[in-house]
Amino acid sequence: MAIEKRHLVCVVCPIGCEIDVVHDGSKIISMEGNKCERSEEFVSQELVEPMRVLTTTIRIEGSRWPVIPVRTGKSVPSRLFPRIMRKLRGINLQAPVNMLDVVVRDVLGTGVNVIATRTMRRE
Ligand code: SF4
């Protein structure tokens, strides 16, 4: 594979180090700009399949607000975000929903649940 350079921002902690990585498409050859070694796993994953936690909202009925904030319980492949968003747009929850309730199980067969990040009572 060809040797390439890439500029990434590490999202492992809030510092957000800007990293210049030289890689061969799947393996790190060298890295600069990272303040710690925790970035290695992130960069390796980023080269193969970028993963992120998706945060968004889902419609809810019977509550004070029309939408409830949710997130995936773990990181999912970023390339699946548009499909997951389409699926979540088709959902209408019914209040009450408690914070950390699973509102979608095993979204798109990823093995990851979508969970509520806020409690919404029935009103
Ligand atoms: S390289 Fe280390 S210090 Fe920098 S953002 Fe990543 S985890 Fe944080």
Could you give the CA distance from residue 64 to residue 27 in angstroms, rounded to a whole number?
50
Residue nearest to atom 1 of ligand 1 (CA): 34
- Region class of 98: left (phi > 0), else alpha (psi between -120 and 50), else beta: beta
Structure tokens at 5: 């350079």
- Asked whether residue 59 falls in the same domain as residue 108, the answer is yes
Q: Is the dihedral of CA 82, 84, 89, 90 positive or negative?
A: positive
- Is position 121 within any domain? no
Which of these, 31, 90, 97, lies nearest to 70 by C-alpha position?
97
60 in the same domain as 37: no
65 and 102 inside one domain: yes
Tell me what pLDDT residue 1 has.
73
What count of other Cβ atoms lies within 10 Å of the Cβ of residue 39? 23
Identify whether residues 66 and 99 lie together within a single domain: yes
Read off the CATH number of the domain in which 101 is found.
3.10.530.10
Are residues 43 and 68 located together in one domain of the fold?
A: no
Q: How far is the CA of 7 from the centre of ligand 1 (A)?
A: 14
pLDDT per residue over 81-119, tens digit each?
A: 999 999 999 999 999 999 999 999 999 999 999 999 999
Considering the domain architecture, whether residues 19 and 69 belong to the same structural domain is answered as: no
Q: How does 68-94 read in b/e, with b if 16+ C-beta sit within 10 Å?
A: bebebbebbbeebeeebeeebeeeebe
Task: Between 59 and 2, name the one with better pLDDT.
Answer: 59
67: containing domain: 55-116
Residue 105 falls within a domain, yes or no? yes
The arithmetic mean of pLDDT across residues 32-52, rounded, is 95
Where do the H-state alpha helices sit in the chain? 39-48, 81-89
Total domains present in the chain: 2
pLDDT tens digits, one per residue of 16-36:
999 999 999 889 999 999 999
State which of 8, 39, 43 you would mutate to test the pocket of ligand 1, scoring each by most atoms of that ligand within 8 A of its C-beta: 39
Residues in the ligand 1 pocket, defined by CB under 6 Å:
10, 12-13, 15-17, 34-36, 38-39
Average pLDDT, rounded, for the chain: 96
38 Cα nearest atom in ligand 1: 7
